[in-house]
Amino acid sequence: MRKIAIYGKGGIGKSTTSANLSVSLANKGLRILQIGCDPKHDSTRTITGNFIPTVLELWRESEKTQTAITKKMVLHHGYKGVACIEAGGPEPGVGCAGRGIIRMLDILEDLDIFQGGYDLIIFDVLGDVVCGGFAKPIQTGYSQEIYIITSGEFMSLYAANNISYAINKVGQSRGVRLGGIICNSRAIEREEALVCEFAERIGSRLLHFVPRDLLIQKFERYAKTVVEAAPESNPAQGYATLADKIYHNQDFRIPSPLSFDELITLCENYDEVESVHK
């Protein structure tokens, strides 16, 4: 069983990518479990067709009623039988979302969720901050393979660089490796070249480039992945290619993140090239 974590800046397309990746892998006959580790609890909506109860909601209710949480309560299934779990978050204005991830993982361990005979488990993790509970998949070996999603936007690359710091710090002791960078395009000029150079500069590689396509967002409004709703479309075929790359990937590395000044200079170099063309 392989355990994969998808990290990236909030809003960069982690959940979209994770969901389409999960169903693409399921289309190959693999047993997949996707675990949403974002307080927005929307990671699996396009797989199941709806928001599912979160582990933390169920836990809070169980504390009030003194009833036990069961596997059936937390585990839901969607398209192609993909198993789905959402961590959830604390009540608004109360508690720490990162600590909620830690509690969720403890509950899943108690329920033997990870012993379900899955081929791959995919953690969809908020990556703006890689501390506390959000770093748990990296720190404790819940996931040995990390993939970072970014665009060519500076703050997205900044978050990706911070995530590579976290992998670098624990990679040697925990056996965690970076499997590559996935660029979820924002249609920025020379974006693919910029992200490719960023990946190479940190000692990794650009694993896959996802072109911007409004078809993906269109079907998200109807709570469906583009892989399910339009399997012959270009974006669906692109996610199938990404699934192949990840499934067959054997190139895992410990990244060497850039300094802040190096990252600034890299992005400025591409700004200068853009200004010449303009």
Catalytic residue among 40, 42, 169, 244: 40
Look at the block and give the residue holding tokens 């499934």: 247
Q: So what's the pLDDT on residue 276?
A: 37
Mean pLDDT of the chain: 89
* CB-based contacts of 52, cutoff 8 Å, min separation 6: 41, 44, 45, 76, 84, 85, 86
Task: Give 155-204 pLDDT, tens digit per residue.
Answer: 999 999 999 998 898 877 778 899 999 999 999 999 999 999 999 999 99
9 is an active site residue: yes
pLDDT at 82: 98
- Alpha helix segments (H runs only) across the chain: 14-26, 45-48, 55-65, 71-74, 97-110, 136-139, 154-174, 191-201, 214-220, 226-229, 234-247, 260-277
Crossing angle for the helix pair 260-277 and 191-201, to the nearest 10 degrees: 160
Tokens 């002791």 correspond to 173
Q: Greater confidence, 97 or 48? A: 48
Catalytic residue among 42, 119, 128, 213, which? 128
- Alpha carbon 227 to its chain centroid, in Å, reads 17
Would you place residue 256 in the very low, low, confident or very high pLDDT band (cuts 50, 70, 90)? very high
Q: What contacts 29, CB < 8 A, 6 or more positions away?
A: none
Catalytic member of 14, 80, 136, 224: 14
Q: What is the pLDDT of residue 169?
A: 86
Does 128 participate in catalysis according to the annotation?
A: yes
- Sequence length of the chain is 278
DSSP reduced 3-state for 134: helix
Mean local confidence (pLDDT), 208-220 = 95
Q: Which of 3, 9, 136, 224 is catalytic?
A: 9
Instruction: Give the domain ranges of the chain.
Output: 2-277
Q: Are 137 and 37 in contact (CB under 8 A)?
A: yes
pLDDT in tens, 75-129: 999 999 999 999 886 554 444 555 667 788 889 999 999 998 999 999 998 766 5
Annotated active-site residue 14? The verdict is yes
Are the C-beta atoms of residues 254 and 203 closer than 8 Å to each other? yes
Angle at 251 between CA 248 and CA 255, to 5 degrees: 140
Answer yes or no: are the C-beta atoms of 101 and 136 closer than 8 Å.
yes
For residue 278, the model assigns a pLDDT of 39
| CATH number 3.30.420.40 is the correct assignment for the domain at 2-277 | no
